[in-house]
Amino acid sequence: MNIRKARRVGIPLGVISAVALGLAAGCLDAPVSTNQTDEPLANTAVCDPVSVLSTGSLYRVSVTGSAPVKIVDQLNMPWEVTVDNGTLYFTEDGVGDCTGKIRKLSAAAPAGTASTELLTGLNRPRRPVIHQGYLYFAEYAEGGSINRVKLDAGGKEILLEGLNRPFGLAVDSNDNYTYVYFTETGTEGNSYRDGTLKIIQLGNADGIVTGPVTMADNLKMPIGLVMDPYYAYVAEMNAGRVFRISKTAPVALIEDLMTGLSTPYPPVLEDPTPDDPADGKNILYFADFNSADFNAGKVYKLSNVDQYTTPRPVDSAATCAAPNCILLADSLNWPMLVAVDGTNIYWSEVYNAAVRGIRKDASPTEPFELTSGNLDFEKPLGIATDGVNVYFTDIGNNTCCF
């Protein structure tokens, strides 16, 4: 193996070694066969109930701030949206009994355009990730699963099932394998103190799944996950921290990046200099929505998160200070998911019925309002941007949000 090339594309050398050793010793589960179907598997999971009081919608608004366009309406709990190569992909929880869906349509579609159902029969689909012609996603349920669908062919492919509410998801690959990292938020009976970070390896030629291998356990509701070539970054909601864990070190050590938070939600990762992935300049942006106080949400910027220091200095919420930590905005009404472009960070502010943003350099220092619901939308949640528009979901007058 070419070690230099492997490191640049993010092959988790330590984890691969663990996989090889585990298989040799018979310690890991047998490879998981895939199942091509749009229907939920019988006798493997109980569908989560979904309480739907009203329908929701998918919106588009210009980054310059114009009247929002309701692209699609009559959606049942539309949670998340992502944009890739001019196409929007978004999820619905449905109305229970595994009626969740993943839909798609053109990002430039006019109001009232009918969307295409990519997959149906899902149990609370979460975290859609586009990677090399596939959409990967988790089904957030007891007995949940990690799955993918080929964008040009359809068909749900179950990679791993029987999981404890998987939520966070990230994917990378080399010529031979694809690596799917995911978090399990844990079990209600253990007060969500038994969460994990795991990885599976998928053969690009044969599609055989090996693993999972546990990278970290006893986590308190790890709900957010992003990656670069060297580290996985996790938002641990009930522990009030954001940490990183090495993908390449022989021993995967957790290093705190920020502690003392309330309830951090999934981050986004920015690499300002993608041609040099090992320069230590990557940035995390995330919201801390503060489940205890509707008016105390915050949005943070953590710089140089991939800087190779051992250990990296910890930024705490109480001592957040430049250059590593910047509090971009505070006194927010439940900021949840975030998105970034070349200039701004945007967030959905659930209980303010607004989509807001601020320049990433915090100049000016006050957030701006991109659009406000007023009578049009009620609880914006999922959010994505392509630098021209911001796209967001509105879950309607329904219980929110995690």
pLDDT single digits (tens) 110-119: 999 999 999 9
Q: Say how far residue 114 (Cα) sits from the centre of its chain.
A: 26
Q: What is the pLDDT of residue 255?
A: 93
Taking residue 157's Cβ as centre, other Cβ atoms within 10 Å add up to 18
DSSP lists the bridge partners of residue 125 as 139
Q: What is the pLDDT of residue 20?
A: 33
* Euclidean distance between CA atoms 356 and 371, whole angstroms: 7
**Per-residue confidence band for 181, with pLDDT thresholds at 50, 70 and 90:** very high
Q: Lowest-pLDDT range, 3-17, 59-73, 200-214?
A: 3-17
Q: What is the pLDDT of residue 227?
A: 96
Question: Percent of the chain beyond pLDDT 70?
Answer: 88
Q: What is the pLDDT of residue 46?
A: 74
**Tokens at 37, concatenated:** 């179907």
* Euclidean distance between CA atoms 322 and 307, whole angstroms: 15
**Higher per-residue pLDDT: 50 or 211:** 211
**Per-residue confidence band for 313, with pLDDT thresholds at 50, 70 and 90:** confident
Residue 26, exposed/middle/buried by CB under 10 A (0-12, 13-18, 19+)?
Answer: exposed
Q: Is the pLDDT of residue 221 over 90?
A: yes
Residue 23, exposed/middle/buried by CB under 10 A (0-12, 13-18, 19+)?
Answer: middle
Q: Is the pLDDT of residue 5 over 80?
A: no
**Per-residue confidence band for 163, with pLDDT thresholds at 50, 70 and 90:** very high
**Tokens at 143, concatenated:** 């007995």
Query: Taking all residues of the chain, what is their mean pLDDT, rounded to a whole number?
Result: 87
Strands in 64-203 per DSSP E? 69-75, 78-84, 87-92, 100-106, 116-122, 125-131, 134-139, 142-150, 154-164, 166-173, 177-184, 195-203
Q: What is the pLDDT of residue 375?
A: 60
Cα radius of gyration (the chain)? 20
Q: What is the pLDDT of residues 243-274, one digit of tens each?
A: 999 998 877 789 999 999 999 999 999 999 98
Q: Which residues contact 364 (CB under 8 A, 6 or more apart)?
A: none
Q: Which of 185, 183, 181 is nearest to 170 (CA)?
A: 181
The stretch 301-327 carries a mean pLDDT of 89
Q: Is the pLDDT of residue 90 over 60?
A: yes
Question: Percent of the chain beyond pLDDT 90?
Answer: 72
Count, residues in the chain? 402
CB 262, CB 291: distance < 8 Å: yes
Strands in 204-293 per DSSP E? 209-219, 222-227, 231-236, 241-246, 254-259, 268-270, 283-288
Q: What is the pLDDT of residue 365?
A: 86
The stretch 143-149 carries a mean pLDDT of 97
Q: Lowest-pLDDT range, 28-37, 46-55, 123-132, 294-303?
A: 28-37
**Per-residue confidence band for 96, with pLDDT thresholds at 50, 70 and 90:** confident
Q: Is the pLDDT of residue 228 over 90?
A: yes
The stretch 148-167 carries a mean pLDDT of 96
Q: What is the pLDDT of residues 336-375, one digit of tens each?
A: 999 999 999 999 999 899 999 999 998 888 999 999 876 6
Q: Is the pLDDT of residue 330 over 90?
A: yes
Taking residue 162's Cβ as centre, other Cβ atoms within 10 Å add up to 12
Q: What is the pLDDT of residue 27?
A: 30
